Amino acid sequence: MKKRVDLPEKKYEGYIFDLDGTLVDSMPLHYRAWREALARAGAPDHVFRADEFYSCGGKSANDVVCFLNERYGMHMDAASTAADKRRIYLEMLEKEGMQPIREVVEFVHSLGDAPKAIATGSAMPGASRTLFDVILTPDEVEHGKPAPDMFLKAAELLGVAPDRCVVFEDAEPGMKAAEAAGMDCVQVRRPSLA
């Protein structure tokens, strides 16, 4: 199997991780849940294919629906479509489970007591607070990714200057947010959804 991430050799004072597609291999499940929820909401089949899905990585579910409405001239209810997507995702998760991204999770364990945070676009992160000092969701900041708010707040809560933190991300909006926050970024490569 192809390596998903090139781990940094440099030591940092703070480590910030995205969740979906970075710590857990949940993106295929999220994609399928989105496709089902959008079909139920009346979206045509060509809407939100893999490239669009990945371009929205790190955005809240409501923001994704608003983006699709604007882009395709649709009128899906953002709150109900986002809630339906979350429900479908949780049902799939319960039936199928999900695997951690081994290389990244092993790296997290190797960090010991170093300050660590999760800054995720997911409304309900499924991560253990025993491994992480801080877990942030879009509800806790004014602007989600690609704005730097989540990463800056994570650094603040960790008590580490932003330029002494590194972010692990799989999606372009998250990588842009890390850059805007003045942080180094390690890309976690994603598998194909085809």
Q: Which residue has the tokens 């008590």?
A: 159
Instruction: State the first-to-last Cα distance of the chain, in angstroms, to the nearest integer.
Output: 17
Q: What is the pTM of this model?
A: 0.82
CB-CB neighbours of 69 under 10 Å: 17
Question: What are the tens digits of pLDDT across the range 33-79?
Answer: 999 999 999 999 999 999 899 888 777 889 899 999 999 999 999 99
How far is it, in rounded angstroms, from Cα 187 to Cα 171? 8
Apex 87 CA angle, 68 and 144, nearest 5: 50
Burial level of 51, CB count in 10 A (0-12/13-18/19+)?
exposed
pLDDT tens digits along 105-156: 999 999 999 999 999 877 655 555 557 899 988 888 999 889 999 999 999 9
Tell me the residue length of the chain: 194
Per-residue pLDDT reduced to its tens digit, 9-25: 999 999 999 998 899 98
User: Which string of b and e fits 79-111 if b means at least 16 CB within 10 Å?
Assistant: eebbebbbebbeebbeeeeeeebeebbebbeee
Active site residues: 18
Q: Which are the contacts of 6, defined by CB distance < 8 A and separation ≥ 6? A: 186
Q: How many CA atoms lie within 13 A of 78 on its CB side?
A: 12
Alpha helix (H) residue ranges in the chain: 27-40, 50-55, 61-72, 78-96, 102-110, 149-158, 172-180
